Amino acid sequence: MYLKKMIRLAGAFAALPGLALAQEAEPALSAGDTAFVATCALIVMLMMLPGLGLFYAGMARSKNVLSVLTQIFASIALICILWIAYGYSLFIDGTGPVLGGLGKVFLAGVTQDSLTGTLPEYLYVLFMMMFAAITPPLIIGAFAERVKFSAVLVFMAVWFTINYVPMAHMAWGGGWVFHVGVLDFAGGNVVHLNAGMAALVCALVIGPRRGWRTTMMAPHNMTMTYSGGAMLWVGWLAFCGGCALAANGFSALIMLNTMLGGAAGALGWMVTEWIHRKRPSTFGVLSGAIAGLVAITPACGFVGPAGAILVGLLTAPVCVFAVEVMKPKFGYDDSFDVFGVHGVGAVVGGILTVIFAAPVLGGTGFPEGRTMMGQMGPQLAIMAFSILVSVVTTYIALKITAALVGLRVEEEDEYTGLDTTTHGETGYRLSDGAFGGNAVMTAPGEVAPVMATRLNKVPG
Give CA angle at 294 (119, 289), nearest 5°.
115
Answer yes or no: is 322 within a domain.
Answer: yes
Asked if the bond preceding 27 is cis, omega within 30° of 0, the reply is no
Answer yes or no: is 285 within a domain.
Answer: yes
pLDDT surpasses 70 at 366:
yes
Answer yes or no: is 10 within a domain.
Answer: no
pLDDT surpasses 80 at 116:
yes
Q: Give the residue numbers spanning the domain of 335.
A: 25-413
pLDDT in tens, 158-195: 999 999 999 999 999 999 999 999 999 999 999 999 99
Quote the number of domains for the chain.
1
User: What CA–CA distance (Å, rounded) separates 45 from 256?
Assistant: 20
pLDDT surpasses 60 at 3:
no
What Å distances lie between residue 263 and 275, 295, 315, CA to CA? 19, 12, 12
Q: Check residue 429 and give its pLDDT.
A: 83
Answer yes or no: is 4 within a domain.
Answer: no
pLDDT in tens, 264-300: 999 999 999 999 889 999 999 999 999 999 999 999 9
What Å distances lie between residue 60 and 216, 236, 382, 452, CA to CA? 11, 23, 34, 11
pLDDT surpasses 60 at 440:
no
User: What CA–CA distance (Å, rounded) separates 40 from 335?
Assistant: 30
Range 338-348 average pLDDT: 98
Answer yes or no: is 74 within a domain.
Answer: yes
Compute how many other C-beta atoms are within 10 angstroms of the C-beta atom of residue 189: 27
User: What CA–CA distance (Å, rounded) separates 85 from 89?
Assistant: 8
pLDDT in tens, 83-115: 999 999 999 999 899 999 999 999 999 999 999
Answer yes or no: is 183 within a domain.
Answer: yes
CATH number, position 98: 1.10.3430.10
User: What CA–CA distance (Å, rounded) separates 176 from 178?
Assistant: 5
Answer yes or no: is 441 within a domain.
Answer: no
Low-confidence winner among 16-20, 167-171, 214-218, 332-336 (lowest mean pLDDT):
16-20
Q: Check residue 454 and give its pLDDT.
A: 55
Could you tell me which residues are beta bridge partners of residue 115? 120
Could you tell me which residues are beta bridge partners of residue 408? 147
Could you tell me which residues are beta bridge partners of residue 119? 116
Answer yes or no: is 5 within a domain.
Answer: no
Q: What predicted TM-score, i.e. pTM, was given to this entire model?
A: 0.89
Instruction: Provide the H-helix boundaries in 242-325.
Output: 249-277, 282-299, 305-321
Q: Check residue 213 and give its pLDDT.
A: 86
